[in-house]
Amino acid sequence: MSERISVLLIEDDVVDQMAFGSVVTKEKLPYDFEIANTVAEARRALSTRAYDVILADYKLPDGNAFDLLDVFANKLVIFTTGSGDEATAARALRLGINDYLIKDPERNYLKLLPLRIEISLRQSRAEKKLRASEERNRDLVENATDLIQLLGPDGKIQFVNSAWQRALGYTEEEAGKMNIFDIIHPDNRGHCMELFQKVIKGESINGIQSVFRAKDGRIIHVEGNVNCRTENGAPITVRGIFHDITERKQHEAERERLITELRRALDDVKVLSGLLPICSWCKKVRDDNGYWEELAAFFTRHSNLNFTHGMCPECAANNYQKAQGDPPDPSHTAR
């Protein structure tokens, strides 16, 4: 160990203090250490400085090392206890102490101390890195916009993230009492059960679509990937990451509705195109078979048009003149 290590030695035995200092000097250990003789001195020292390692004798003049458990929290602590105090050492480990050494009359335990400190430091740093990694992962999961869920091999919900809870309206506690098939829409349940069986047998499925039913009855369309974590070939956790595609599905449904309406409208429309032979005098139209028919009848047969009949003002005036015996208006003749 090349880096300097700060050590607080909580020890009231002067001989043990000197023996520790001798080992540090003789072995050229990179320790910068301070000594506290009592519980009170240890509290003062720990309130003013952070130490890499705390070596604490169990029995002290004004109490014992358990009186310092509140200030030992999240610190690397190694207990030293006298022979016959193994039960005390075991209790210390249960309470979160990192390690312990049994003192012997010849103080040979000090020879083991550097190695135990190094091992404890490595473990402590590894645990800190692991906690930091877990915290980052948890932060990522909890702040993800995707719906993340962990299931047991039986489909029981083990974990859901915040986005999942917001989308479906269940709390984490409520979700933990449910099976995933409780929230899958009945129309999709059979298909999803088949896929679930494939997943717990080791198959990863990407792009799966399903329909969840929220606590308030809303329909949530989701799409995502599902796989399974196994140990020794046995399924342990089914992992699913989904994103909410409900809005996309709504847009798709609206588009299909409009397309259907448009097709229906187009089916109702008949289009006339090309040259239309028409008599310049009587305005009859010749069909493909060479027959002449009234213009109104032709359009009625070839389109969705229906004609109503009336009389324009000019024709009305002209016909009135005919009825009176007057000559017709030469400006209103058939064209």
Contacts of 228 (CB under 8 A, 6+ apart): 199, 200, 202, 204, 235, 236, 237, 238, 239
> Which tens digits make up the pLDDT trace of 44-101?
999 999 999 999 998 899 999 899 999 998 889 998 887 656 787 788 888 888 888 8
Give me the pLDDT at residue 215, please: 95
The last residue of one of the domains, among 110, 139, 168, is 139
The last residue of one of the domains, among 248, 279, 299, is 248
Q: Do residue 92 and residue 111 come from a single domain?
A: yes
User: Does residue 289 surpass a pLDDT of 50?
Assistant: yes
> Which tens digits make up the pLDDT trace of 176-204?
999 999 999 999 999 999 999 999 999 99
Least confident of 65-69, 115-119, 282-286, 305-309: 305-309
Distance in angstroms (rounded) separating the CA atoms of residues 282 and 295: 9
User: Does residue 1 surpass a pLDDT of 70?
Assistant: no
Residue 141 CB coordination number (10 Å): 18
| pTM, two decimal places | 0.50
Distance in angstroms (rounded) separating the CA atoms of residues 228 and 224: 14
* pLDDT band with cut points at 50, 70 and 90 for residue 335: very low
Dump the DSSP string for 188-235: HHHHHHHHHHHHHTT--EEEEEEEEE-TTS-EEEEEEEEEEEEETTEE
Contact 219, 213 (CB under 8 A): yes
Q: Do residue 111 and residue 170 come from a single domain?
A: no
The last residue of one of the domains, among 191, 217, 248, is 248
Cα-based torsion angle of the residue sequence 77, 30, 49, 17 in order, rounded to the nearest 10 degrees: 70
Q: Do residue 116 and residue 160 come from a single domain?
A: no
Q: Do residue 135 and residue 18 come from a single domain?
A: yes
- The amino acid sitting at 38 is T
- Residue 42 domain-assigned? yes
> Which tens digits make up the pLDDT trace of 137-174?
777 777 788 999 999 999 999 999 999 999 999 999 99
* pLDDT band with cut points at 50, 70 and 90 for residue 331: low
> Which tens digits make up the pLDDT trace of 2-52?
589 999 999 999 999 999 999 999 989 999 999 999 999 999 999 999 999
Q: Do residue 177 and residue 134 come from a single domain?
A: no
* pLDDT band with cut points at 50, 70 and 90 for residue 334: very low
- Residue 277 domain-assigned? yes
Per DSSP, the three-state class of 56 is strand
Give me the pLDDT at residue 271, please: 55
**Start-to-end Cα distance in the chain:** 114
Domain count, the chain: 3
Q: Do residue 111 and residue 206 come from a single domain?
A: no
> Which tens digits make up the pLDDT trace of 270-281?
555 566 788 877
User: Does residue 329 surpass a pLDDT of 60?
Assistant: no
Angle among Cα 194, 196, 200 to the nearest 5 degrees reads 125
Quote the tokens at residue 121: 């430091």
Sheet holding 5-10, edge to edge: 31-36, 5-10, 53-57, 77-81, 99-102
- Residue 309 domain-assigned? yes
Q: Do residue 230 and residue 209 come from a single domain?
A: yes
Exposure string over 123-136, b if 16+ CB within 10 A, otherwise e: ebeeeeeeeeeeee
- Residue 258 domain-assigned? no
Give me the pLDDT at residue 132, please: 79
Structural domain boundaries, residue 196: 145-248
- Residue 317 domain-assigned? yes
Give me the pLDDT at residue 322, please: 65
User: Does residue 217 surpass a pLDDT of 80?
Assistant: yes
What sign does the CA torsion over 84, 87, 92, 96 have? Answer: positive
Phi, psi of 118 (to 5 degrees): -60, -45
Give me the pLDDT at residue 150, please: 94
Percentage of the chain modeled with pLDDT above 90: 48
Distance in angstroms (rounded) separating the CA atoms of residues 260 and 160: 39
Quote the tokens at residue 226: 């599902």
Least confident of 34-48, 114-128, 208-222, 244-258: 114-128
HSE-CB at 279 with a 13 A cutoff on CA atoms is 14
Contact 212, 184 (CB under 8 A): yes
Please count the residues of the chain: 335
> Which tens digits make up the pLDDT trace of 106-124?
888 888 888 888 888 888 8
- Residue 253 domain-assigned? no
Give me the pLDDT at residue 136, please: 79
